[in-house]
Amino acid sequence: MNWYAIQLECLLAILAVVVLLTDAFRPVRDARRIGLILSALVGLTLLYSFTMQPLGEAVFQGMYRLDTLALFFKRLFLLATAFVLLMSAEFVERIEAGRVEFYVLLLLCATGMLVLASANDFILMFVALELVTICFFVLTSYLRRQVPSLEAGTKYLILGALSSGLTVYGIAYLLGITGTANFEKLRAVLTEAPVGEATGLWFGMVLVLAGLGFKIASVPFQVWAPDVYQGAPTPVTAMLAVGSKAAGFVLLMRVLMTGLLPLEPVWGPVVLGLAGASLVYGNLGALPQRDIKRLLGYSSIGHAGYVLMGVAAVNALGVAAVLFYHGQYAFTTLCAFLAIVAVTRVTGRDDIASFAGLHRRAPILGLALFLAMMSLAGVPPLSGFFGKFQLFAAVIDRAQMDARYYWLAGIGAAAVVVSLYFYLNVGRAIYMQSSDRTDAIPVSWPVRVGLWICMGAMIGLGVYQRPLVDAALQAARVFGLE
Amino acid sequence: MNPVWLILFAPLGAAAVITLVTQRWKMLSAFVSCAAILLGFVLSVGIFLQQGQWQSPEPLRWLVLEGGWVIEFGATVDRLSVLMLLVVTGVGSAIHIYSIGYMRGDPGFSRYFACLSLFTFSMLGIVLSNNFIQIFIFWELVGVSSYLLIGYWFERPSAAEAGKKAFLVNRIGDFGMMLGILLLWTEAGTFSFAELPERVAAIPAGTLGLISALIFCGAVGKSAQVPLHVWLPDAMEGPTPVSALIHAATMVAAGVYMLCRVAFLILPSETALTLIAWVGGVTALMAATIAITQNDIKRILAYSTLSQLGYMIMSVGLTGITPAMFHLTTHAFFKALLFLGAGSVIHALHHEQDIWKMGGLWRKMPVTFVTFLIGTLALAGVWPLSGFYSKDEILLLALKENMALFVVGVVTAFLTAYYMGRGCFVAFFGRPRDRHAYEHAHESPLVMTAPLVFLAILSVIGGWGSYVPHFLQPEGHGAHHEAWKGFLLLLVPAAGFGVAAWIYGRAEPSDEPVKAALGRLWNVLENKYYFDEVYLWIVRNVQGAVASGCELFDRWALQRLGVGGLAGVTGLAGKTLRLLQTGNVQAYAFVFGVGLTVIIFYVVVR
C-alpha cells in the first residue's frame, strides 16, 4: 500500500467516521461548534497538504496519480470543504434532524472528490464519482420537510442515475474496444492503432462526455442545475458549485487530454460547441431570474461555458487558464454563498429583492456579495477579470490555427456583456435599493474571517496573480501540451 | 528586505489600519499615521547616509503576459529619488505632526489621517517608480488622494466643487500623458526607465518630440501650468496642512520630478524643450501678476506656488535638470513653512483668511511671525536664505540660454518680493483692523510651532554651499556661480520689498494707490485673466452643444434602436429559455436525451 499517496483521503475518511461514531455514542448538543471545529481541521489539512510532494509514477497498478495537477485540485477541494463546513455551521440550526450526519456526508463527499483528482483509470473514476454523487443525492434533499429541497433531491437523483448509467455504458464501450481502462494505456492503444472509422469508440466517448457534462452542468446536460441549486440547502449548493464542478473538470481534462487525446479531432469540435452553447444558455437564462440561488445556478452553467473555452483550446495556456479560473472561482463563489448563508439565516428568503439595502444592515456582507458578483462578472481589478483574460487569451491563441475559435471568443465576449446586467442587478439591490427593514444583521466572527479571506484572495489575486498563475502553469505541464 | 519597500508600504499599511481598525480612537489614528511617515523619514536618512552602496531592490515581475510583455513593480534608488524621498518624508513628517494640532476637534480626524497616509503612499510610489505604467498608476492614486483631501470638508459645496475641478482638470493632462506613454511603448517596446534611454536614440526626432510633449501634458496638469493651472487656487478649499503638503511642497512638484526622471526623453528634442520652457515662463509671470491682487492669504500663496512651479518647469525647459530639482527642494521647505504659518494665523483667527481683516499680528504670534518672515524672505530669494541660491541658479541659467525668459524671470522675482511684502505688511503690521479677532488671537500650541521652526531652519540652511546640486551632480555641476551676478540680482527682491513697504508699510494700508495706477489692468488681474470664465463659456457652449447632439443620437439611435433592441431580443431569448425549464423531471430527461442524441449524430455521421 502506498499510504503517502492517499493520506489526505484517509485523513478525511477517518475524520468522518470518528465524528459519526462520537455522535452515535455521545450525541452532540452543540452542532454549530462541531462544524466550526471540523472546518478548522479541514483547513489545517489544507495547510498540511502544502508539505506534500508529487509522485512521479502512477501508483496502485497505475490507477492513481499524485501529480501536481492532482495536488492542485486536492487543495482546491480541501479549501472548498473547509468553507462549506463553515457555512454549514451557520446553517445547521435550520436542519431538523441528523445535523452531525450532514457534516459526515460533506466529509465523505470531499473524500470522493480528492480521489477523483487522482483517478487515472475509468473504474476508479466511476467508483469515486458514485461516492460523490450519492452523497449529493442525500445532501440535496436534506431539508426533508421542505418541498423544494425534496424536489431538488429527486431530480438530482433521477438525472444523476441517468448520467451515471450512460457513463458506465460508455466506459464499457471504450473498455471493450481498446481492452484497457487505464488512461495512459488507452492513449497508447489509440495512438498505435488507426482509429479511422471506430464508430463504437466515438459512441463510448460521447457517453462518457455526457456523464462528465452532467457534473460540470454543461449544455445540454445542465437542466438540473437551476432547480437543484435553488432547492438544495445553501452549503450543498456551494459544494456543488465549487467542488463538484471542479471535480468534473479535472476528470474531463484527464479523460480528454490523456486518454482520448488522439481523438482530439473528434471531440474538439464537440467541446467547442458545448462551450458556446453553455455560454449562451447560462447567461441568457440568468437574465429573468429573481432568486439568487437560481441565478447562481444559471451563472454556474455560464461559467462551465467559460471554463470549457479553456478546455477546447487544448493547449498548455488553456489548461493553466482553467486551473487559475477554478482557483479564483472557488474564492469568489464561496464568498458569495457565505454571504448568502449569513443573510438568509436572518431573512429566511432567497429572492434578490430581500437583499435590498443590505449594505446598511450588514456592510461587510453587502461588500462581500457585491465584490463576489463583480468578480464573477469579470470586473477588474478582481480576480475574475484575470481568470477570464487568460481563458480568452488561450482561445485566441488557438484561433490563429483554427478560425472557428474566433467565434467562440466572440460568443464569450458577448456573454460577459450580458452577464454584467444580472450581476449588477444584485449589486443594485445591495447598494441602491432601500428596504423597510433596517435592523442590523449579526455576523459571527468565523464568517467574518472567512469573508475577509475570500475578499482578500479576490482582490489579491486580481492585483498580483503570479503565485496562482505559476502553480497553474506547473500543474498544466502534466499533460505535456504545447 | 530592502528598506525602500518599507518606506513605500508603511503609509499604505497605516491608511489601512486607520480605516479598518483604529478609526474610533482619534489620537491613535494620528499616531499610526505619523509613525508611518516618521519611519519613512528615518529610513530615508539611513539610505542617504549609506551613499555609494545603494542598490535598487529586485523588481517584482508583476504582470507577465505572452509575447515578452513584462510589467514590473520596482523601486529606483538613485540620487534623484533619494533626494525626493528625503523631501517628501521630511516635509511630510513636519506637516503630519502639525496636523495633530490644526485638525484637533474635527469630526473626521481619523479619516483625515487615513487620507494623508494614502497620499504619502501614492507620492512615494511616484518617486520610486521604475517604469511608466507604475508611475502612471501612482500618478492617478495621487490624484485620487488629492481629490479626497481637497473635498475633505465635503459638506461645504465649494470644497466638493474644488475637489471635482482638480480631478477633472488633472484628468485632461493625464489623458495626454497616457497617449504619450502608449505612443512611446509602440516606438520603444518597453516601459522601463532603465531600458528606455538606449532605445530612445532609435526613435525619429519628430515622434520623440510629440511623445515628450504628450508626457509633458501630465506635468502641466499635476504641476498646474498654464493653461491647466485653474484647479490649484481652488484646491485651497482643503485643510491648510493639506495645501502645504500636497498643493505646495510635494504633489504639485511631482510633475517637475517626473520630467527630471524622464529627462532622457525630453533633452534630445529641441521643440519640446522650447515648449516646456515657455509654458513655465508664462506660468511664472502670469501667476505672479495675479498674486498681487489677491486678498485671501492662502490664495496669495497658491498663486505664488504656481509661479515658483513655473520657474522649475522653465528650468527643465532650459535643460537645467539640477537647478529645477534644487528649486523644488528649497521651495518645498519654504512654501510648506509659509502655508503652515498661514494655517497658524487662520487657526488663531478662527478660520479667517482675508488679510484685510488681520493686521498687527506680529505682537500676538511671535513664533508664527518670525518663521513666516523667514519663509517670505526665502521665497523672495534674499541672501543667505535657501531661495536665493536655487532661484539664482535658474535665473543665471536663463541669462545664458534665453534672454527673453531671463527678463520674465527677473520681473517675476520682483513681483514675488512685492506681493509677499504686501501680504506680510497687511497681515502682520499696521493697526489691527478687526478688533474682535485681534483680541482673541493667540500663538498656536507647540505641536504646531515646532514644525514651523523645523521648516524655518531648513528654509534658512537649505541652499548653503549648494549642497543639493552637488549631491545630484557630484562630478561637477554646470552652472558655476558667478557671485557678483548673483548679488547683483539681490537688487530685484530689494526693489520689490521697497515698493511694497512704500505702499503698504503704513498704519492703514490700502490697495487704492495700486488700483489707481493700474486702472483696468487691476480688474483683469483680480479676475485671473478670466480663465475660469472662458473655460466655463467653452464648456457651456461648445461642449454643451456637442453633448446635447450626442445625447440625442444616444437616446434615439443607440438606446431605442441599438441597446433597446438588443436588450429586448436578449431578454426575450432569456424568457424563452425559461420555457425549457419546466420543472418537470421527465422533460428534463427528455432534453438530456435529445442533446445526447444530437451530439452522437454529429460525431458519428459528421
In this predicted complex, what is the ipTM? Answer: 0.89
Please tell me which residue of chain A has the smallest CA distance to B571.
A287
Which of B64, B573, B596 lies at the smallest CB-CB distance from A284? B573
Q: What percent of chain B has pLDDT over 70?
A: 97
- Which of A92-106, A357-371, B251-265, B470-484 is least confident? B470-484
Which of A223, A270, A317 lies at the smallest CB-CB distance from B591? A223
Residue A7 lies in a domain: no
For residues A286 and A276, give the distance between their C-alpha atoms in angstroms, rounded to a whole number: 16
Residue A231: which of A361, A142, A339 has the closest Cα? A142
A-chain CB neighbours of B594 within 8 Å are 220
* Interface check B566 vs A, CB under 8 A: no
- pLDDT reported for residue A275: 95
Cβ–Cβ gap B581/A466 under 8 Å:
no
Whether residue B148 has pLDDT greater than 70: yes
Which of B61, B66, B588 lies at the smallest CB-CB distance from A155? B588
- pLDDT reported for residue B539: 84
Listed by number, the residues of chain A in 407-426 with a beta carbon closer than 8 Å to a beta carbon of chain B are 418
Whether residue B483 has pLDDT greater than 70: no
Residue B62 is classified by DSSP as E
- pLDDT reported for residue A140: 94
Residue A331 lies in a domain: yes
Total residues belonging to chain A: 482
Helix axes A199-216, B585-605, angle to 10 degrees: 140
* Interface check B603 vs A, CB under 8 A: yes
Q: How far is A142 from chain B (nearest CA, A)?
A: 19
Residue A428 lies in a domain: yes
- pLDDT reported for residue B556: 79
Cβ–Cβ gap B600/A203 under 8 Å:
yes
Residue A440 is classified by DSSP as P
Contact B177, B217 (CB under 8 A): yes
Which of A223, A226, A393 lies at the smallest CB-CB distance from B592? A223
B30 CB-side CA count, 13 A: 17
Please tell me which residue of chain A has the smallest CA distance to B587.
A223
Q: Which of B592, B594, B600 is the best residue to mutate to test the A interface, defined by the most A CB atoms within 10 Å of its own CB?
A: B592
* Interface check B20 vs A, CB under 8 A: no
Please tell me which residue of chain B has the smallest CA distance to A217.
B592
- pLDDT reported for residue B2: 82
The backbone torsions φ and ψ at residue B69, rounded to the nearest 5 degrees and listed phi first, read: -90, 100
CA dihedral B219, B225, B229, B234 (to 10 degrees): 70
**Ramachandran class of A165: left when φ > 0, alpha when ψ lies in -120 to 50, beta otherwise:** alpha
Over residues B514-537, the mean pLDDT reads 86
A-chain CB neighbours of B64 within 8 Å are 466, 469
Residue A343 lies in a domain: yes
- What digits encode the pLDDT tens for the residues B302-321? 999 999 999 999 999 999 89
B-chain CB neighbours of A154 within 8 Å are 585
- pLDDT reported for residue B481: 57
More reliable by pLDDT, B455 or B563: B455
Q: Which of B134, B588, B605 is the best residue to mutate to test the A interface, defined by the most A CB atoms within 10 Å of its own CB?
A: B588
Which structural domain range is residue A445 located in?
266-482
Residue B93: which of B75, B114, B120 has the closest Cα? B120
- What digits encode the pLDDT tens for the residues B349-361? 888 888 888 888 8
More reliable by pLDDT, B254 or A380: B254
B268 CB-side CA count, 13 A: 18
Quickly count: other Cβ atoms within 10 Å of residue B366's Cβ: 12
A-chain CB neighbours of B580 within 8 Å are 223
Q: How far is B583 from chain A (nearest CA, A)?
A: 7
Cβ–Cβ gap B599/A210 under 8 Å:
yes
Residue A92: which of A235, A293, A228, A237 has the closest Cα? A235
Cβ–Cβ gap B585/A219 under 8 Å:
no
Residue A463 lies in a domain: yes
For residues A252 and A129, give the distance between their C-alpha atoms in angstroms, rounded to a whole number: 12
* Interface check A285 vs B, CB under 8 A: yes
Residue A169 lies in a domain: no
Q: How far is B551 from chain A (nearest CA, A)?
A: 22
Contact B364, B468 (CB under 8 A): no
Cβ–Cβ gap A288/B585 under 8 Å:
no
For residues A366 and A378, give the distance between their C-alpha atoms in angstroms, rounded to a whole number: 18
Please tell me which residue of chain A has the smallest CA distance to B61.
A466
Cβ–Cβ gap B66/A199 under 8 Å:
no
Over residues A194-214, the mean pLDDT reads 85
* Interface check B547 vs A, CB under 8 A: no
Q: What is the pTM of this model?
A: 0.78
A-chain CB neighbours of B62 within 8 Å are 464, 466
For residues A201 and A179, give the distance between their C-alpha atoms in angstroms, rounded to a whole number: 12
* Interface check A221 vs B, CB under 8 A: yes
Which of A206, A219, A288 lies at the smallest CB-CB distance from B575? A288
Cβ–Cβ gap B589/A162 under 8 Å:
yes
User: Which grid coordinates belong to B208?
Assistant: 520623440
Residue A173 lies in a domain: no
Cβ–Cβ gap B596/A163 under 8 Å:
no
- pLDDT reported for residue B535: 87
Mean pLDDT of chain B: 88
Cβ–Cβ gap A221/B595 under 8 Å:
yes
Which of A219, A270, A397 lies at the smallest CB-CB distance from B603? A270
Which amino acid belongs to residue A145?
Answer: R
Q: What percent of chain A has pLDDT over 90?
A: 71
For residues B173 and A31, give the distance between their C-alpha atoms in angstroms, rounded to a whole number: 61
Band of the pLDDT at B106, cuts 50, 70, 90? confident
Cβ–Cβ gap A206/B585 under 8 Å:
no
A-chain CB neighbours of B600 within 8 Å are 203, 206
Q: Which of A158, A284, A289 is the best residue to mutate to test the B interface, defined by the most B CB atoms within 10 Å of its own CB?
A: A284
Q: How far is B571 from chain A (nearest CA, A)?
A: 7
* Interface check A286 vs B, CB under 8 A: yes
The backbone torsions φ and ψ at residue A59, rounded to the nearest 5 degrees and listed phi first, read: -115, 180
Residue A39: which of A341, A304, A277 has the closest Cα? A341
Contact B69, B56 (CB under 8 A): no
Residue A201 lies in a domain: no
- What digits encode the pLDDT tens for the residues A146-174? 888 999 999 999 999 999 999 999 999 99
Count how many domains chain A has. 1
- pLDDT reported for residue B476: 65
Please tell me which residue of chain A has the smallest CA distance to B594.
A220
Whether residue A305 has pLDDT greater than 70: yes
Which of A199, A220, A287 lies at the smallest CB-CB distance from B570? A287
* Interface check A198 vs B, CB under 8 A: no
* Interface check B592 vs A, CB under 8 A: yes
Using the structure block, give the residue that is written with the C-alpha cell 473655460: B535
Listed by number, the residues of chain B in 22-61 with a beta carbon closer than 8 Å to a beta carbon of chain A are 60-61
Whether residue A196 has pLDDT greater than 60: no
* Interface check B21 vs A, CB under 8 A: no
Q: What percent of chain A has pLDDT over 70?
A: 99
* Interface check B516 vs A, CB under 8 A: no
Quickly count: other Cβ atoms within 10 Å of residue B24's Cβ: 8
* Interface check A163 vs B, CB under 8 A: yes
For residues A168 and A164, give the distance between their C-alpha atoms in angstroms, rounded to a whole number: 6
Quickly count: other Cβ atoms within 10 Å of residue B563's Cβ: 12
Whether residue B57 has pLDDT greater than 80: yes
Band of the pLDDT at B100, cuts 50, 70, 90? very high
